Amino acid sequence: MVGGDVVVAYYNSETRTFHADDYYMSATSQCDGANGVCPDERIGGKNDVILVSGERRNGITTVTYKRPLQTNEPVNDRPIPLDRETSVIAAIGPLNSRKEANAHAIPDKTVAKENVNTYALSKCAAEQMIHEEAKDIPVGIFRPSCVSQQRRDCTLNTSSTVVKLAKQCPHLRLFMYVSTAFSNAYLKTIDEKIYSPPTHYSYLISLTQLGDDEKHTYESAVRSLAKENVNTYALSKCAAEQMIHEEAKDIPVGIFRPSCVLSTSKGPTPGWIDNYYGPTGLISAGLAGIIRSIYCNPILAAHIVPADMVINALICSAWYSANRYHQKTRPAIPIFNYVSSTDNPITMVEFFGKVFKAGARMPFSRTMWWYCYHLVGDKTAYAIQSLFYHYLFGYILDFFAPITRTKLRLVPLYERMDKVMRVLEPFSTNEWTFINENVHTMWNSLSPQEQAKFPFNIRDLDWDEYVETYVKGVLVHLLHDEMDPETRKYALRRFKRLQVAHYTFQALLYLLVFLFLWILAKSLKLL
């Protein structure tokens, strides 16, 4: 498909408008402003597609468009021949925050040894799988990812549904459940085994079946249950593991537990990321010059892993578990704790330090201020710093925003950042010891050729190199910055001016404080 002439049609639910945009595919990756699946207009071309009409009826979106048979763009557009048939390929996928084509998954792909087909079930779609589709699935990899309040039953109910679906697959070689390394975060040492939570998963499922008129009962029970683990997310993951252990005994099954997943490190697209999960939201705000104080324990390990290494480890764990199951008689469920803190640890202060050093080398071209950050492990100290570093300036700038016609409002943004830090607090202020012997054994079982094809040995990860790639990925894919030489030169010049402004403002502030204290001392006749 590289070199293909593409039209992306969609409905914008925010503006309630239909769109049809002309794209050119120079690479099988998300557009970075120069290469990838890019709108013609973004890479210097013209949108030759004309929207005719759009309609949404009975859950079906129909967009009608037209384009000339011949255009004046020999590179970005392909002529439509009149003397022969032309193939038209249709695909469905997500859009990113810029309403541009995002990376999409291939549902049926050869990914491991022996032509193992991996069918990815995600986002609560299991119940939509009909029986005929399930018959020929040899490997099922399931990761529940519903996070909204409206789908509070997703992790447990859908996991149970998918287990039932897996039991109907006569050719199933393995069912792989993707959990999290923090599923048993109420423990300080987490081994690669199933732990029984204090509350049985059946009780949690019964809570999700309460009606809207019993909302108070549900919320009260959730608050009580949250004390059994660091939060309800970890609690539900732990319960789902228990459910799989009890209900999936008669099928081959494995559990994969990654820690906090960030951007890719090398492939297929270095630095690719499409979400603000974990510390990425805070780092994005920091690179934008918005936040300067972060609540975490600086000396604790940052439990982060690159996405591509996680995928490689997941694929290999599915292959390894399937072979292990069929070589033994009902072995124990293999569990894989895929973490960095055991074999290649990096502390919070080291990670954030590398992030902002990399950010200083390639600053965000629209950053509001020079990068200065403080990692604070004390709640009171953080509250004081947040008041002066964030909210004080936020209220001042928001007060003048109508005059300067600035759309950005800082105070609501700081409130959201505080909410994010509260969510991350259990993971940024606690320490765990992870046992990952199964991951080591799996890695050692691979041949050198297989290790080169599926690199996931976290010991081989160079943190300096990875953080550089990660920061660039955040700038390109989340903050939508450009990486061309002119933009980089402009960003560096602007960043240096902001640095001068920062130190000038700091010097003036210290001078004012000194003058205030001097005048106060004079008035009290202390001098």
pLDDT at 468: 96
| pLDDT (0 to 100) of residue 357 | 95
DSSP state of 500: H
Task: Specify the residue for token string 């404080």.
Answer: 513
The dihedral built from the CA positions of residue 363, 366, 368 and 374, taken in this order, carries a sign that is negative
Could you tell me if residue 59 is left (phi over 0), alpha (psi between -120 and 50 degrees) or otherwise beta?
Answer: left
> How confident is residue 96, by pLDDT bands cut at 50, 70 and 90?
confident
The pLDDT value recorded for residue 125 is: 41
Helices (H) and strands (E) in the chain — how many of each?
15, 17
Q: Is 80 helix (H, G, I), strand (E, B) or coil?
A: coil
Rounded distance, CA 193 to CA 186, Å?
A: 15
Retrieve residue 524's tokens. 């009290």
Rounded mean pLDDT, 19-34: 82
Of the candidate ranges 49-58, 247-256, 277-286, 514-523, the one whose mean pLDDT is the lowest: 49-58
SS3 143: strand
| pLDDT 10s digits, 507-521 | 998 999 999 988 888
Q: Three-class SS of residue 410? A: helix
pLDDT, tens digit, 9 for 90 and up, residues 31-89: 877 778 888 888 878 888 888 888 887 667 888 888 887 776 666 677 777 666 666 77
User: What whole-number distance in Å separates Cα of residue 81 and Cα of residue 327?
Assistant: 56
pTM: 0.71
Strands 139-143, 117-122: pairing is parallel
Beta strands in 377-458 (DSSP E): 433-434
Q: Residue-wise over 24-46: b if at least 16 C-beta within 10 A, else e?
A: bbbbebbbbeeebbbbbebbebe
Between strands 304-306 and 260-262, the pairing is parallel
Over residues 319-351, the pLDDT tens digits come to: 999 888 877 666 789 999 999 999 999 999 999
Residue 6, SS3?
strand
* Per-residue pLDDT reduced to its tens digit, 384-430: 999 988 998 888 888 888 887 777 788 888 898 888 888 889 999 99
Average pLDDT of span 307-324: 93
Q: Which residue has the higher pLDDT, 374 or 170?
A: 374
What pLDDT, on a 0 to 100 scale, did the predictor assign at position 220? Answer: 83
User: Which range has highest mean pLDDT (107-111, 297-301, 422-426)?
Assistant: 297-301
- pLDDT for 121 equals 38
Question: Contact at 8 Å (CB) between 166 and 250?
Answer: no
pLDDT the model gives residue 338: 97
What percentage of residues in the chain have a pLDDT greater than 90? 39
- CA-nearest of 245, 257, 250, 258 to 333 is 245
Mean pLDDT of the chain: 83
| pLDDT tens per residue, range 114-155 | 333 333 333 334 444 434 445 555 555 556 554 444 444 556
Give the pLDDT score at 62: 87
Q: Does residue 27 or residue 182 have the better pLDDT?
A: 182
Per-residue pLDDT at 152: 45
Mean pLDDT over residues 430-438, rounded? 95
441-490 pLDDT, tens per residue? 999 999 999 999 999 999 999 999 999 999 999 999 999 999 999 999 99
Interior angle at CA 239, CA 237 and CA 243, nearest 5: 115
Given a contact cutoff of 8 angstroms between Cβ atoms, the answer to whether 395 and 411 are in contact is: yes
In this prediction, residue 83 carries a pLDDT of 66
pLDDT at 119: 32
